[in-house]
Structure 1
Amino acid sequence: MMEAIPRRTMLRRGALGAAGLQLAAAGARGDGRTGPRVVVGLIGAGGMGSAHLRLLAARPDVEVACVCDVDAERLASAAKLVEQGSGRAPAAVRDLRRLLDDRRIDAVWIATPDHWHAPAAILALDAGKHVYVEKPCCHNIREGALTAEAVARSGKHLQVGTQSRSTAVVKDAVDRVRGGAIGEVLVAKAWNSQLRGSIGKTRPSEPPSQLDYDLWLGPAPAVPYRSNLLPGVWRWWRDFGCGDMGNDGVHDLDVACWGLGVETHPSRIACLGGKSFFDDDQEFPDTQYAVFEYPDAAGPGRARRLIFEQRIWSPYVQEGYENGAAFYGTEGVMIIGHTVGWTLYGPKNRKLAERAGPADLAAHHDDFLACVRGESKAPSAGVAVGHRSAALVHLANIAARVGRVLDFDPRAEAILGDAEAAALVSRRYRDGHWAAPPTA
């Protein structure tokens, strides 16, 4: 077995990735934005939260009025970041309820761990705020439906942080695929292939003094703190994250759904996966292969299929990219590399076109803020889009966990004929917790 990468190195790589995304997007756009100023708040000031803050604080059409984090050190850093970028010091609070009580705030950015995404979004929508929530938009399938219901009853907009939906390079590629550039597309594939680090094995311990661990847990079950839970490592624990499929993989799954043209959940799901490489506390597969089937999506009796591959111990490209999505048509192939660009091949593997460019986070902010101001009717990655992509993550993880093919009713959002798997469509919350979603 390869020597595990130290956790510090793994986390530094993640932080650099978020910073690189932010800087690339900022460099691609000017500062000449105009329009009514939107007052915003941010919940969760970690790596991606900080990337959002750098962009938001620099915008003349945005006022960051409040930042929120359960870690006192991160909270202080976030407030300083906003003041440096905007010249205005925001309010800084640990409890998100204090942020949501501020009537001046029009919109909220949520960049918390996954288990807080839907509960925080629902609370914000019910408080009359527009919501930008990081991916995946929900920790489980039921939460996705509850979030959609909250959007409908609030009349507010929700944008999910799958920024490829607002990136001109990716939009160009998908437009070509859906416009017939490679003929009829019956199969798409998404993949996540990179080298992660071991999270090690630990025992329960006391949380650090600057962390309000009870607030961090929120409505999730109360479990003891562990040193390999924070920061960022929560992704590999079932109570709090969705594995790397819900972290990086969901970006490529979302692009695959988009190009394939499917606008419903799949009806049959198969997934084989497990821990083939890491001997540590991770609770999700490090090796995972899933197939999703959409019956009649290409016409009566003609299915479309989406394939997903994940190897988080293998830093080698496939189809030319570490992470990406490919579309296989009757007259060609389109291959999109996540945050890199795309290449279009025609008959006999002849290269017909290509384009390079990073993901555009600033454009995704622009798209959302246009909705907040009433200048646009719907965000590019609204709740229906985010819920469909997140559901693929959850269905694959469930299928791998139970080791069986799942039959899924897309309308009822229910797994059929398998009580064990069906129970995993939702989750258990702490009894009586104020943030537990209603009718969960």
Structure 2
Amino acid sequence: MSDATSNVPAAPAPTDADLADADLVGTDEPDERLSPLHEVHVAAGASFTDFAGWQMPVRYSSDLAEHHAVRSAAGLFDLSHMAEIAVSGPEAGAFLDQALAGTLSTIAVGRAKYSLLLSTEGGIVDDLVVYRLDDHDYLVVANASNRDAAFAALAGRAHGFDVTVDDESDDTALVAIQGPESEGVLDELVAADRLHPDEPVSSLRYYRVLQGTFDDSPVLLARTGYTGEDGFEIYVDPEVAPALWSALVDAGGPRGLVPAGLASRDTLRLEAGMPLYGHELGLDVRPAQAGLGRVVDLSKDFVGRAGVEPVPGSRVLVGLALEGRRAARAGYAVVTDDGTVVGEVTSGALSPTLGHPVAMAYVDPDVADRGPALAVDVRGTAVPASVVPLPFYKRS
């Protein structure tokens, strides 16, 4: 099931208590923004956390149960806090080529591409998914915490191009269904005459997008996700989102689908080695440091091109497998056997799938392939750690 490499002995499966102090934390502020699905989550018994100014469900029952449901069946996530920015016009492709680190003008209609929005100095403003919906129409999906920064950067860079840049976040709800049963659940909605994609769901390949309708309301159906599993992300009108959520719950229940919160989403993406903005990515990080050099097209000019290369000796992102059951958390020091600090953890958890702690960390390049001769300072205890390839988990 997993191709993760580790010389750490197998550990008992973690419990919810083991995950209770995970990196994903928040505060319950009464004046934060609410998802169009908020009342649905309340009725389902969700616990909430602040995330980028939104009250979002952190769990419904058990972090572990929700995590395992995604790996074995399906999980349903509310991602309506994400930012959707429409880019359209005769020069939309050329504009995005200049505004982003990747080349978007050459992707075919109906395809998606992961890309980076860089500062003029080459740091990462945000990581994005870009969908090409038509010859001159693109949808840029940014992280919730970077909605304003991403929109401002794109709008500012549009000067001189025949293009419009519109923030459509408030007019868009986003629901993700992730896990091996996802396609089957959507097929149930097709059979029930509620979901009408332009092509069969089974024809939609990874990083592709279809247009269609749900209950006569337009939807975008993308085969993308952030969990390491097969799955789909569905963009829909906020007023229709509750009906879509309910239909997916009803269709997916017999297949093992459960609503899932941000806590399980965080452990899923960590196991899959997927970076999180504010942890692995930020303005002080260059793409190559984060293992994202492949995303950058150095054959073209773009904003940030001059500063995209990291300074020699800059720390690089690695995966760590730890012994025992004590998880490394963001900010914990990575040390050598003599106690010298050579890095810092950016994300960590006791992996529900693998049964031992895993972490991502930035370390000095001369120890990035050091193997087992490292440790993480976990609250004063040096816990042995081995550098292992990312991702920790890959679906079979």
Whose helix fraction is larger, Structure 1's or Structure 2's?
1
Task: Give your verdict on TM over 0.5.
Answer: no
TM value normalised by structure 2? 0.30
Structure 1 length-normalised TM: 0.28
**Of Structure 1 and Structure 2, which has the larger fraction of its residues in strand?**
2
